[in-house]
Amino acid sequence: MRKIISHHVQHITRDCGFRRKRFIQEYVCFFLLTLLVVAPALQGNGQSRPKFVKYCSLFDSTYDERTVSSIALMFYSTVGRVDGGDTFLYSPDCNGPDYFSIPSGNSKVWGKWQSFFDKLPPEKNLAIEIKFEGKPDVAIAGLFGSLDGWARAEIKFSKIVSIRDVTSSTNAVVPNHNAAKPNVERIEGLRNDLRNFLQTLYSPSNARQDMLNSLPDDFVFVDFTGKSFKRDQYLSLNAPWDTASAGLKESRMSSRLKSKTNYTMIWRGTFVLGFTSAPTKIYYCDVTFVLRDGKWTLRRAAMVHSASQK
């Protein structure tokens, strides 16, 4: 009987040990599986938090089109206007037109805070402190905002973290529109020179004096045949297209940025000419600017090809 009892005790002990070992193994496996599932999610949440960047640093190309978080003051007006009065961001630490930016975002981003805007006092220019997440887009060839544009950056909000009216507080700094704005002026100068030059193609020999002054001595013009003309030679030419024989009825001119680097950009000018006794013709001119001494300089212009419209 003692042997039988001893045998049963040993069997039960071995069975309990086996079950305990199996339980531990199953627990360890469950823990590891849980860790494999949860850890990436936790890590992903950590990575999804955008880096905080001071507002003034958002104009550095390092952060261009990267999602970051920041805080700024926002000029917001409830004064009724026909044009102008754009909402824009600014900061006391870089208060001037070169560091104004236009906030944008879809209705979902702004809609969450609609009740806040609805409660703002009417007919007031306000200073709003806003914490946000978004992507800055800093232009080197164009401007954002109403009319022809006036701000060199746009920030595409993905989230507004918090917002409050600080107009009456000591933190309410008024935007300084009169501060120096070399970056904005550089873009404005480029835009004016491009528009004026494209206008000269209608009659280079009749170019205005301000256009003559904007062409450098090493400027080169290339016609449809590939022949090159230096600055003074170009200014003695007629238009690169014949408008007299067919009778010019109407003309339209436009331009778009074709390519750019930090130091060079190429614009494509398009001319649509309508004639009374010939099909409408389309002409193209590629205009190259280079950055010299902090200013965009018109270096080269080349007629590319032409097309006809029936």
pTM exceeds cut of 0.85:
no
The average confidence (pLDDT) of the chain is 84
The yes or no reply on domain 51-180 and CATH 2.40.50 is yes
The pLDDT tens digits of the residues spanning 126-159 come to 999 999 999 999 988 889 998 889 999 999 999 9
Structure confidence by residue, pLDDT tens digits, 22-66? 545 555 445 545 545 444 444 444 456 899 999 999 999 889 889
Neighbouring residues of 163: CB distance < 8 A, sequence distance ≥ 6:
113, 116, 128, 129, 130, 131
Q: What CATH number was assigned to the domain covering residues 184-309?
A: 3.10.450.50
pLDDT tens track for 227-277:
999 998 998 888 888 777 778 888 899 999 999 888 999 999 999 988 888
Tell me, what's the pLDDT at 32? 47
User: Is the sign of the CA dihedral 55, 58, 62, 68 positive or negative?
Assistant: positive
**In the chain, % of residues over pLDDT 90:** 55
**Alpha-carbon distances of 204 from 53, 68, 235, rounded to whole Å:** 49, 48, 5
| Domain boundaries, given as residue ranges, for the chain | 1-48, 51-180, 184-309
Helix-strand-coil split of the chain, %, nearest 5: 35, 35, 30
From CA 34, how far away is CA 274, in angstroms rounded? 72
